[in-house]
Amino acid sequence: MRMINEDEEYRDLLAKIAILYYKDNLTQTDIAEKFNTTRFKISKMLQEAIDLKIVEISINRTERRITSLESKIKSLFNLKQIIVLRTVHTNSSDTEQIVAKAAAGFIESLITRDSVVGLTWGATLYQTIQNINPPHRLPITIVQPLGTAGKRDVTIDTPDLIRRLAEKYDSKYLFLYAPLYIMSNQVRESLKLEPVINETIIALENIDILLTGIGTPDSIFSTFLWKNYLRQDESLSNVAVGALYGRLFDQNGRILSTDVNEKVFGVGMSAIKKIKDRVAVVTNRFKAHAVIGALRGGLINTLITDELTAVKIINLIDQLDNMSY
């Protein structure tokens, strides 16, 4: 039986471990190494900290959601879920943080035991993952659905984002060790048979949550790794409105028949459309045309965005409807 002073020392220890885990975002493995113990023991101590009320987990609910805009957009498209955040009086960096925090909370609620999570790349996804702080580690698998995009800032590219999310959940992860675009058809097909790549290819079939941003067509051709290799089809320059999953699409969400799209290495579009939750986080109203195309084509079924982007989406739809008469 512990003496009173021993109980106080033990509670202090639990508090220190809780701070490292919940505030400093260390993984259970990191903490176990720090205290020369096992991850299982740290997991039990974290649960004990909650049971003893040393740590209290609460969900902060704000009135930032604009349900009127959510209802309007949801009625226009076959959306599973939509979140629109009130951001009209904030600057762009604050807007990104507000949306990222809301997206992080939503994603935490979406991820459950044995979830298989895929994610793409981008600054908005980076901010979202930075804000994810799950109350419990879960046995999930995080997979790379497409080859590496080759972003100049590696912190917003898929492998680094996967590593960050895996640390949050202390989970298993699988990389797709290949570039996003492979010029040779023969090499592309041969790579799928390589054991270290084939393991990931097989895992892609089990993705149930896919997290992504949405880009403009320029986001593909301006990437420093690809701009010297990808040929931009000028005949499609006025047709493509957005880029998603490394592919160009038109205003109705149709994946275009273009050289770029045929070079993508990774999960196919038919498999993507079967994924249960396809979540896009967007914080730029200049991407409204791209978002509309993605929604019309069913390329995503959940949208998390800001007020100005949502308003522009609705206004553009009204304009397009008026033009059709």
Domains of the chain: 4-51 (1.10.10.10), 67-323 (3.40.50.1360)
In sequence order, the β-bridge partners of residue 119 are 211
Per-residue pLDDT averaged across 259-273, rounded?
Answer: 94
Alpha carbons within 13 A on the beta-carbon side of 187: 10
Q: Say yes or no to pLDDT of 119 above 70.
A: yes
Residue 200 pLDDT level (bands cut at 50, 70, 90): very high
Question: Which contiguous run of DSSP H or E holds residue 281?
Answer: strand 277-282
- Kindly report, residue by residue over 42-79, the tens digit of the pLDDT: 878 888 888 787 876 544 444 589 999 999 999 999 89
What confidence score (pLDDT) does residue 167 get? 93
Percent of the residues in the chain that have a pLDDT greater than 90, as a whole number: 62
The structure tokens listed for 175 are 């990389």
Q: Cα 133 to chain center, whole Å?
A: 14
Backbone angles phi, psi at 130, to 5 degrees: -60, -30
Backbone angles phi, psi at 56, to 5 degrees: -120, 125
Q: How high does pLDDT run on average in the chain?
A: 88
Residue 2 pLDDT level (bands cut at 50, 70, 90): very low
Query: CA angle at residue 317 from 314 to 319, to 5 degrees?
Result: 110
Q: Say yes or no to pLDDT of 266 above 90.
A: yes
Query: For residues 241 and 24, which has the higher predicted lDDT (pLDDT)?
Result: 241
Q: Say yes or no to pLDDT of 150 above 60.
A: yes
The residue with tokens 């492998």 is 159
Rounded to an integer, what distance in angstroms lies between the CA atom of residue 52 and that of residue 322?
61
What confidence score (pLDDT) does residue 4 get? 45
Rounded to an integer, what distance in angstroms lies between the CA atom of residue 87 and that of residue 94?
8
Backbone angles phi, psi at 160, to 5 degrees: -70, -35
Q: Say yes or no to pLDDT of 108 above 50.
A: yes
Residue 302 pLDDT level (bands cut at 50, 70, 90): very high
Rounded to an integer, what distance in angstroms lies between the CA atom of residue 273 and that of residue 270?
5
- Kindly report, residue by residue over 9-20, the tens digit of the pLDDT: 888 888 888 888
What confidence score (pLDDT) does residue 324 get? 53
